[in-house]
Amino acid sequence: MNKNVIYKDLGIIAYDKALGLQESFLKKNVGIKLSNRKEKKDDATSNYLLFCEHPHVYTLGRNGDKENLLINNDFLEKINATYHEIGRGGDITYHGPGQLVGYPILDLENFFTDIHKYMRFLEEAIIKTCAEYDLDAGRIEGLTGVWLDHKEQKFPRKISALGVKASRWITMHGFALNVNTDLRYFGHIVPCGIQNKAVTSLKQELGRELDMTEVKNKVKRHLSTIFEMKFI
């Protein structure tokens, strides 16, 4: 099993360009798998982790409700944002500058074939990253993502959203961690289709701007440990 992961920091990149890159890596891996099966070969697939930030964009998952976008096209243009309907799970979310977006394109046959476990592992990397900033983050039963005030739930607020897709055990899409995110943009949607729960960021919780490179390195380190992967 190949647990090496090719890491690429894409910087700030348009959502559709990042999506195209993900799709090209997935297609390449699917091609290898189909060829292996047809020709009885055992060529290794590749694993990737893409980190990036996006210009302001709203994305709606395949099972999402369009009504959870609370603004029209004219207002989207006014706030310099775009909108995309995509193939991941989950409902609507926002991506923008100051938010760390992670796209693992992993062949889970190199790790384990369990999507539920995969998502919990992604969440765990974010939970451990938050803990390094003395924030008690965790899960809320029945809800995907990473939350603060997840125990008493007097004022639960989401700090990281997840939405994934898998084809022949190859993953796409991933997670978004609010670092220095402009949280006002979440006011134009019902985030992840969940009413009456807030959204937060590391900056909001800590009262200071964070160094994005520092946060990336922490998330990478925890992903490496949890998945037993090696970045190349």
- In three state form, how does the secondary structure of the chain look? CCCEEEEEEEEECCHHHHHHHHHHHHHHHHHHHHHHHHHCCCCCCCEEEEEEECCCEEEECCCCCHHHECCCHHHHHHCCCEEEECCCCCCEEEECCCEEEEEEECEHHHCCCCHHHHHHHHHHHHHHHHHCCCCCEEEECCEEEEEECCCCCCCCEEEEEEEEEEECCEEEEEEEEECCCCHHHHHHECHHHCCCCEECCHHHHHCCCCCHHHHHHHHHHHHHHHHCCEEC
- φ/ψ of 51, rounded to 5, equals -110, 140
Of 5, 192, 215, 223, the active-site residue reads 192
Q: Is 192 a catalytic residue?
A: yes
Name the pairing type of β-strands 198-199 and 157-167.
parallel
Residue 101, strand partner residues = 52, 176
Task: Give the residue carrying structure tokens 């900033």.
Answer: 133
CA-based torsion, 191, 194, 195, 198: positive or negative: negative
Give residue 182's identity as a one-letter amino acid code. D
- The residues annotated with a catalytic role in the active site are 192
